[in-house]
Amino acid sequence: MNIYSDKSMDLVGLKEILESKSLRNILKSKKLAQLGDFLANFVYTSVKIGLYGIEGSVHVWDNSLTKAMEIADLRKELGKKTKPDKVADAGEALIGYAYFTELLTLEKMIEILDAKLNEQSFVNEKTEKMACAVAFAFLFDKIIELAVEHKKVRRLVNG
């Protein structure tokens, strides 16, 4: 899926950011964050409702994504003064980046989240928020690993 092979898709303005090798630029992309927000909710919903049959409204919590960015040691890529909601947006941007550069399919993202979740992950909201953070941190680690392996990004801060 080459999302900018069509002229109309190039108008979305993603070509430059998807070809960027700067992790910081990718994480700060508002367009990728908007697309990644949908994708994050989709893959989490697919696990929670699709695999575990747990009903209800599903939206990934910003504080879980912020915690995931910390666990994955990615928050430092954004700078110390970055507000938590922007850190969560950066996690969503990373998911969007992984999907649109074909580092990971949605199916693989679902598998990665599922590897860190189980029925006990959903016993109460506090437990679920932490399990969600750990699962997304695992996903973020995998995205970075693949991006570096395929020489798509370079990290700004040595981890």
Number of domains in the chain: 1
> What integer pLDDT is reported at residue 127 of this predicted model?
97
Domain membership of residue 41 as a residue range: 22-149
7 in any annotated domain: no
Residue 155 domain flag = no
Q: What is the pLDDT of residue 157?
A: 54
* CATH number of domain containing 102: 1.10.1520.20
- Would residue 50 count as lying in a domain? yes
Give the whole-angstrom CA distance, residue 140 versus residue 153.
Answer: 13
What pLDDT is attached to residue 80?
A: 87
One digit per residue, the tens of pLDDT, for the chain of length 159 reads 454 445 444 535 788 888 889 999 999 999 999 999 999 999 999 999 999 999 877 899 999 999 999 999 999 999 889 999 999 999 999 999 999 999 999 999 999 999 999 999 999 999 999 999 999 999 999 999 999 998 888 765 544
The pLDDT, as a whole number, for residue 11 is: 37
Using DSSP, state whether 154 is helix, strand or coil. strand
